[in-house]
Amino acid sequence: MSSVLITGANRGLGLEFTRQYLKDGWEVHAFCRQPDKAVELSAMVADSPGNIQLREMDIGNKEQIEAAAKELKGLPLDLLINNAGIADGYGRGVYEMKEDPDIQNYDFAYWEEMMRINTLAPAKVVSAFLGNIRAGKQKKIANLSSGLGSITNLAWAGKYGYCASKAGLNMVSKGLSEWLKSEQIIVISLSPGWTKTDMGGPKATNSVEESVSGMRRVITGLNLADSGRFWNFDGEELPW
């Protein structure tokens, strides 16, 4: 049985990744900050006993990452999906195209938090579970980035913190891919596209089901030559 670890599994993309991999017979290790409040995940556990493990892990909490890694020590993992993150998303002006591009008015404290959660935390998660990936058969790591992390494609001002945090995550993916290439471990950045989630808002173009199905096709088709590259959910390679 193939196995996957998913962070931020309680809602949105993470929940849909969990649902789809579970349906396809994978062993799923679903992590979120508050398992006791994850109603839909708990229902999946009840419906598929033994195939899904629901555990607590706030990726912004170093001690919780270490505790989770200790629980899974020695367990092979085929795939790690670094999904959890935060954004200055819908309701903060971003997707309504109403955010203030004046950097003098930017919320620098929130920018700092986005760098901590979106860039540093996923790197810590990879570090904690790298031994599990080394022991797995597929040896794949997918870091969920964003099209807004593409320096080439960005065409307007604003979103400084979120864009910077995802561009930073892309650099982490690239660096890891070079380091781990000799071990046949595949590391990519993966964009879900503009998706109807709490972050993306109701005007987004993709459903959660479409986005996750597309990303799973990309992940399934990966080989070592694809490592260290930036992929869109539809299979298109994105520029850095």
Handedness of CA 163, 80, 9, 56 (dihedral sign): negative
Q: Is the dihedral of CA 106, 107, 112, 117 positive or negative?
A: negative
pLDDT, tens digit, for every residue of 75-85? 999 999 999 99
Average pLDDT value for residue range 44-50: 85
Q: How far apart are CA 234 and CA 232, in angstroms?
A: 5
Torsion 104-105-108-111 (CA) sign: negative
Is pLDDT at 206 greater than 80 in this prediction?
no
In the predicted structure, residue 89 carries a pLDDT above the cut 60 = no
Task: Give yes or no for a contact between 60 and 118, defined as CB atoms under 8 angstroms apart.
Answer: no
* Most confident option among 43-47, 100-104, 230-234: 230-234
Instruction: Compute the distance between CA of residue 43 and CA of residue 219 in angstroms, rounded to an integer.
Output: 26
pLDDT surpasses 90 at 205: no
Q: How much is the pTM?
A: 0.94
pLDDT given at position 48:
82
Q: How much is the average pLDDT of 150-171?
A: 93
The residue whose two tokens read 């935390």 is: 121
Average model confidence (pLDDT) for the chain? 92
Q: Kindly report, residue by residue over 110-131, the tens digit of the pLDDT.
A: 999 999 999 999 999 999 999 9
Q: Strand 79-82 relative to strand 140-144: parallel, antiparallel, unpaired?
A: parallel
CB 208 within 8 A of CB 226: no
How far is 230 from 133, CA to CA, in rounded Å?
Answer: 20
